[in-house]
Every structure is written in structure tokens, then in C-alpha cells.
Amino acid sequence: MAIFVITVAFGLYYVNTVAMPSSPFGSQITRSAYQSTEKIDQKASWKVKTTPIAVESNYAVDEYPIELEYLFPTNIDKNSTALTQDYSDIPSYINSSSNQILFYGNLSSGENQYQLVYTKDTSLSDLEYDRAVYQEQDSLWNSETNLSTKSDGIQDLDFGGNSMVTDSDLKASSPTYYENLLKAGARFDSLNLSLYKNNWVKLEDNNTEATTYEFVLTENFSQAYVEGTGDISLDGNGTYYSGETDFVDFQEGTDSTYSLGFVGETLDVKIHRNSTEGKIKFNLTRSAGEKKTLLISHSGDETKISKDRNIFLDPPKIDLLLTEEKKGILQEKAKSLAEKSEEDLKQTLGVSGLGINITIGENISMGEKIPQSTEITVIEHPTTFLDRFGNYTMKDLRLAVWMQ
């Protein structure tokens, strides 16, 4: 006669249907069965901490650099931390010493959900890429920065004689490049240059006086698009444009094989060429205070710059939500139990003088073969599995024990 004890869900709730075994050791057998399920929970379960990140954007844009500060708890190992979306990894820059996180999101208009996931003792450093550029200088005078670009993106950014591109994956591959020389014509209280893999170069300054940047542009540019004015031909000498705008896009021609855009809130700009030097110059003046300017290397016309302008001047709202700690059985740990010998399994589960058989789902089985002519106590219930992304799945656990 087979005796069944039905339970539902570890640590959640129980629905019991108990028929005591006719054997005088029935209660002991049942107690051992319950203790074995608790041991499985202890030995095969783990914890995953998830911190949701909500990104509210007014615009749809691909590869938007999402930067945030996150105060890592002292017991958190950054090499066991990853960014995920829809239970898939997102390559990211995570620096627990400076509490910085950077990743790129393909944003839709509205709310976009990501997760910061921590799983102890997991090596996730292969998911990380270097943040290619972050350079700060405090007292610069007429400093020169070489921005070398190719038709499919940025090739190098040389600042103070040092290359700032450390990640070869960020470099463009086209064989021809153009050099654009940036001269800063005023002393900076603070200047940050940041390069992102979506071919953005962000210039952040905080100055006590107005600052003028001068760009010496390649002769390949034959026209410029100025927001609010339209296309401007760059033929001949003189001043092509002087005034305020939110973006300017320099282009090779009507096919716009290669373009270089400048974006910022109310840019005071001057585009000119003199007959002596014969070079196109772009002067960008920023008033005192905190200012951000975006340089974008791209192909095509001003459509991309217009889209990037929108999200640069009206950036997404980024919120870190409450961290949740989840617990469940890890598939790999359950399989590790199944690989034990019968004696080692009994010792691990604290079973003595009993036969035991355990199946979890369709693929995990451990213990001995169930005899046909012996009184058996069986516990069956769904149990919660938890993967590295904090995703729950339910599987049926069936544990059978009997006297030997």
C-alpha cells in the first residue's frame, strides 16, 4: 500500500493530505521525508538580488548611453554584478570603486525596464567593456585635441598627446579618416571629454568666463546644415554663418558620406574661412557656467543629429527602484546533488536506514530505484527554481522514502 503526503511550495504554503503508514515507523519515515525536502532547499537554493532600473524617455533612440551612480554595498562584488533586460545580459561598464554604471540602451518612447542583478560568486567580468574615455583637466590654455574620425565613426581622440581610445571595438574601420583640430581659447576651471561607442563625444565644461572652441575642419566638407537656417554652402571665403542655434551638421556633400555634428542648447557659432589659411573654421562660444556640448560623427544627412539633439537636450529620466532579494533552487546545484552516489546523497540529506528517490521536473533524478512491494511515503509539490537573472520557474519535486 502506498501512502502519499502532498505539500505545495517551499516556504509558501502547504496543502496536506496525510494518511499515516501502517508501519509503526510511519511517523518517523514521514518526518525524514520532510527533513529531506528541507535539506534539498538548503543545499540547492541560492539568492539573487535584483535592482530594477526604470528609464523614461520621450524619444525612441538606439544605443543611448545610460549613466548612473549606484552606491554598491560593501559586501557586493562587482564581478558578480550584471545589467540585464528581458533576462538577457547587456554589456556594461561597472565600477564599484567610483560607484559608476554605464550601459547602452535601445530606448522606446515611454518606460524602458532594465535590471541590475547581483549573484554571489559568479564571474561576469566577461560581460564588461572598458569605458573608452574619461579625462579631466583643471587648468588648460589653448590646449589642442585631435579628433580623428572615419566615415563610419570615431577612430581616435588624442588629448594632451595621449590617445584616449583604449577599446579597439569602438574604433571605426573605414580606411580613410579626417582630422578635426579642437583649440580651447580660454582657461578652463573644469573640462571633461567623454567618448561613447555610439560615436558621441561629450564636452562638459564649467568656466568662470566665456569660452571659445575653435575647430579646424577638413576640406572635404562642402556644406553645413544649421538648424533654423537650413543648408549653407561652404564655397569661397568669408563668414558663412554667425548666430545662435541648437545644432550644426557639417557634411561632405549631398550624399553626406561623412558628417560631423555639434549639438547643444543655444550654441553661439561662427562658420568662416579666410583666404590666407584656406581652412574652414568653426567657432563655438559658450557662456560662463556649466555647459554640455555634443559632437557626433556619423554618415547621412542631419536627420540623425536632429534625433540625437532631442534626447541630448531632453534626456531620459532614470530611476533606481528598490532592491529585491529572491531565493530559489539553482538548476546547476540540483544537478550537482543528482551526481552524488546513493550513500553520499543520503549523508547530504541526513537520511539513515531508508531508501530514497527524488525527481525534479523531467530532467533531474537522483537516489535509488523505487521498489515495487514496499510501503512507500511520497511527498509531491511544485518547487521554485531561480536563474541568474532573477527569473522564477516552477517544477514538480517528488520525493519517495521507504524502510530498508
Strand 376-386 with 3-6, pairing: parallel
The CATH number linked to 113 is: 2.60.40
27 in a domain, yes or no? yes
The pLDDT of residue 298 is above 70? yes
In this structure, of 13-17, 290-294, 334-338, 344-348, the range with the lowest mean pLDDT score is: 13-17
The pLDDT of residue 59 is above 50? yes
Average pLDDT of the segment spanning 204-232 = 83
231 near 301, Cβ under 8 Å?
Answer: no
pLDDT at res. 17: 32
Same domain, 336 and 380: yes
pLDDT at res. 90: 84
Average pLDDT of the segment spanning 241-245 = 95
pLDDT at res. 173: 54
pLDDT tens digit sequence for 99-146: 788 888 999 999 999 999 888 766 555 444 444 444 444 444 445 566
Average pLDDT of the segment spanning 186-206 = 72
pLDDT tens digit sequence for 300-329: 888 888 889 999 999 999 999 998 999 999
pLDDT at res. 111: 96
CA 67 to chain CA centroid, Å, is 9
Same domain, 77 and 120: yes
Number of compact structural domains in the chain: 3
pLDDT at res. 33: 82
The pLDDT of residue 369 is above 70? yes
The CATH number linked to 246 is: 2.70.98
Domain limit, last residue, from 281, 309, 337: 309
Same domain, 285 and 211: yes
Whole-structure pTM value: 0.74
314 in a domain, yes or no? no
271 near 232, Cβ under 8 Å?
Answer: yes
pLDDT at res. 244: 94
> Which three three-digit cell numbers place residue 359?
525527481
Average pLDDT of the segment spanning 255-267 = 83
Domain limit, last residue, from 297, 326, 355: 326
76 in a domain, yes or no? yes
Same domain, 223 and 193: yes
Same domain, 277 and 338: no
- CA–CA gap between residue 73 and residue 325 (Å, rounded): 14
Question: 289 or 257: which carries more pLDDT confidence?
Answer: 289
Same domain, 336 and 351: yes
391 in a domain, yes or no? yes
Q: Is 279 helix (H, G, I), strand (E, B) or coil?
A: coil
315 in a domain, yes or no? no
Same domain, 196 and 66: no
pLDDT at res. 225: 93
Same domain, 235 and 340: no
Give Cα separations from 199 to 130, 150, 173, 270 (angstroms): 15, 11, 13, 24
Same domain, 277 and 388: no
Domain limit, last residue, from 296, 326, 356: 326
Average pLDDT of the segment spanning 394-404 = 87
**Structural domain of residue 92, as residue ranges?**
49-130+320-326
Burial of residue 247 (CB within 10 Å: 0-12, 13-18, 19+) is buried
Give Cα separations from 390 to 27, 103, 297 (angstroms): 37, 20, 38
Same domain, 155 and 219: yes
pLDDT tens digit sequence for 141-180: 445 566 666 656 666 666 556 666 655 555 555 544 455 5
Amino acid present at 91: P
Same domain, 120 and 173: no
pLDDT tens digit sequence for 3-35: 333 322 333 333 333 334 555 556 777 888 888
pLDDT at res. 154: 66
Same domain, 116 and 143: no
Average pLDDT of the segment spanning 294-305 = 85
215 near 181, Cβ under 8 Å?
Answer: yes
